[in-house]
């Protein structure tokens, strides 16, 4: 059986969305605390910045998957998103704009198995 069959990715499906869900809640908790106070506008920029990177990589990601194979694109995307997610608290401590950059990069490396939408 192929490592990235529909069945294998279907079982991992909640893991992909759990990261985005939890990170969104953690960011809201971080920025509403007295340690990380942000205006509503800045909070919107931080939370929305993920999608700036995500939207830019849809077509290039498909091209890379055709050229190098989906396994590599998928694997690199998952690893890089995990590393950047771990860097989120450090980025928030440095500056809000560094946090925005980290969130844009997370969106840039975010991958999604399109087969799951057809299940």
Task: Give the largest CA-CA distance in the chain.
Answer: 51
pTM for the model: 0.67
The predicted structure's pLDDT at residue 105:
93
The predicted structure's pLDDT at residue 92:
85
- Strand ranges, E, within 6-116: none
Distance between start and end Cα atoms, the chain: 19
- Tens-level pLDDT at each residue, the chain (119 residues): 334 333 444 444 555 566 666 666 666 666 566 566 777 788 888 888 988 888 888 888 888 889 998 888 888 888 898 899 889 888 988 988 999 999 999 988 887 655 544 44
């Amino acid at each position: 059986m192929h490592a990235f069959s529909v069945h294998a990715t279907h079982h991992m499906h909640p893991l992909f969305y759990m990261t985005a869900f939890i990170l969104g809640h953690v960011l809201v908790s971080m920025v509403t605390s007295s340690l990380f106070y942000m205006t509503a506008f800045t909070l919107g920029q931080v939370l929305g910045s993920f999608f700036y990177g995500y939207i830019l990589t849809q077509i290039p990601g498909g091209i890379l998957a055709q050229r190098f194979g989906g396994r590599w694109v998928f694997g690199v995307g998952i690893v890089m998103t995990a590393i950047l997610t771990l860097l989120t608290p450090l980025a928030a401590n440095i500056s809000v704009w560094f946090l925005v950059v980290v969130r844009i990069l997370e969106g840039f490396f975010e991958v999604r198995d399109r087969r799951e939408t057809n299940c």
